[in-house]
Structure 1
Amino acid sequence: MKERQDAWTEEDDLLLAETILRHVREGSTQLNAFEEVGDKLNRTSAACGFRWNAVVRNNYQKALELARKQRKQRQRSLGKHQQVKKTLLYKPTVPSIKDLGINAIESNKDVTLDQVVSFLQSLQQNTSNIDFLHKENERLRKENEEMSKQNKTFSENISKLQQSSISIQEDYDTLMKIMNRARKLVLIEEEQSPTTAFKMDKNGNLEKMAK
């Protein structure tokens, strides 16, 4: 029965992160990775999942995104673009009655109270793991819905920005046409207007000269 309660070390966190990244990269699941780490560290998969989501994951966001991209590239190379089934890399050992030493029926030996308690505790732990899987699935479902809403909002904002950019470009083109017309009119008026000459009379006054 896994009952380890000591604090997580840096080596434990590193093992947890490396195992999860490997599972994601090779097309397995994080839950399957929790099982593997739990067996290696003598911890429950639920404890590993909590440690990952609460502490370790924040330090490996870029690595996790890279692992997901590598998984997609691997799937494309295999020619499986859609509906790719997860491949579990680790098969946890489910304790049985024989594993716990409760084989009195076959060997006609008495079952001890400790063996019964240990077996019941393992069943309870399996139930806890199932509850954790349900909660994790619900969390991922809500996270996916939230991301879908954000993507929709982003798409709408991009569409508005594109429309605004088009309007600005049209206004700019219209303004340039007006300025070009005004510039041409000024040039035409300057060409058509006669040059006026002046001369000074005896009294010092200026008067126009006929051209």
Structure 2
Amino acid sequence: MTAVRQDAWSPDDDLILAEVTLRHIREGSTQLAAFEEVGERIGRTSAACGFRWNSCVRKRYEDAIQLAKQQRQKRNYLKKQTVAAPHVSSLSVFETEERPFKTTDVSMTEEALSIDTVIRFLRQWKTTYQELNRQIKTLEKELKEKEEDLYRLQSDNERLSKEVNNVQTDYRAVNDDYKTLIQIMDRARRLAVLNQDEEAKPRFKMDANGNLERIE
């Protein structure tokens, strides 16, 4: 399936649109068929081609359109004359026919085709617009959910940070108490050792005769 273009119209696109549409007018075809052919050639929808023709390109080819209509009328008249009088040559009929035919019915047909093309284009655009709206709403919903998740994660992060700080504070306090307890225990151990050493040492006193006497 050929991708539908959404870019701006180039001069070459306008030229292709004009050439194909004028050819279809000369050959007695419809403009809708011309728009479909152009759409297949340049990768656009027939509605977009019709809208471009009626809004911009057609104004630049008014004289060419009138000439193409006259050529179409002469071709149709030539076909009728050929069926009614086979002995008349096509060239003589074409050269002697100078007066243009009335184009009221043709104009009405082209106007109806133009309106139909615009309606089709607007319907396609409405569908595209609705699809874009649905996508926007979906993205907005996802964005809101992401923002809520982000807010929840930030709250959890702040809570965990406070808990970590509290645990670190408690750890430092316990560590300080532990060091103090170790110091107290070490001091008590050293005092106990000193007391034992003093008790283990024998004590003496001198008697009246000058002799040392051990005291138990």
Q: TM-score range by the shorter chain?
A: 0.3 to 0.5
Higher helix share: 2
TM-score with structure 2 setting the length: 0.47
Q: Report the TM-score, using the length of structure 1 for normalisation.
A: 0.48
Q: Which one scores higher on RCO, CA 8 angstroms, separation ≥ 6? A: 1
